[in-house]
């Protein structure tokens, strides 16, 4: 079983990268355009800047383009979001609603240290 799972690892990582990046992109669409149950925020605000990062970094990570810097920035943005929006409401993420911010931060940190993987635009550009 473990041999089969090792063979599937590159594909599982691509699914992970696309899911994390794609879902993050939706948070940006909520903030910037008010789509999917969100409310449109001013671009020249902290939350507007967060929306820009979420939209751009989410798209780049999902596509596997400039993956390492995009994921690193997204990880940092989620730590800042946790510190500014969640931590003041309580010390534990389960109490202050910050689980998703910390989970995104950890996921993007993993992606930034792992790299884009072999099934990405970054890998395609390297091959050329």
Number of domains the chain contains: 1
What pLDDT is stored for residue 87 in this prediction? 95
Q: Is residue 74 part of a domain?
A: yes
| Model confidence pLDDT, tens digit, residues 59-108 | 999 999 999 999 999 999 999 999 999 999 999 999 999 999 999 999 99
Q: 96-107 as b/e, with b when 16 or more CB fall inside 10 Å? A: bebeebeebbeb
Q: Report pLDDT for 47.
A: 94
22 found inside a domain: yes
Q: Residue 71 has what pLDDT?
A: 98
Alpha helices in the chain (DSSP H): 2-33, 46-63, 67-81, 93-96, 99-114, 121-127
pLDDT for 128 beyond 90: no
Classify residue 127: in a domain, yes or no.
no
Query: pLDDT tens-digit profile of 17-43?
Result: 999 999 999 999 999 999 999 889 998
CA distance linking residue 120 with residue 87, whole number of Å: 35
Which residue range(s) make up the domain with 16?
9-118
- The CA-atom distances, in angstroms, between 83 and each of 49, 59, 115 are 16, 24, 26
- In the predicted model, is pLDDT for residue 11 greater than 80? yes
């Amino acid at each position: 079983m473990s041999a089969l799972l090792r063979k599937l690892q590159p594909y599982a990582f691509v699914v992970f990268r696309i899911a994390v990046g794609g879902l993050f992109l939706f948070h940006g669409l909520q903030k910037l355009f008010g789509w999917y149950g969100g409310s449109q925020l001013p671009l020249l605000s902290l939350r507007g800047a967060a929306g820009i990062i979420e939209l751009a970094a989410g798209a780049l990570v999902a596509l596997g383009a400039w993956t390492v810097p995009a994921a690193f920035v997204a990880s940092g943005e989620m730590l800042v979001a946790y510190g500014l929006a969640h931590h003041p409401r309580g010390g534990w993420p389960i109490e202050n609603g910050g689980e998703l911010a910390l989970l995104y931060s950890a996921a993007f940190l993993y992606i930034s240290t792992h790299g884009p993987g072999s099934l990405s635009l970054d890998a395609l550009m390297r091959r050329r």
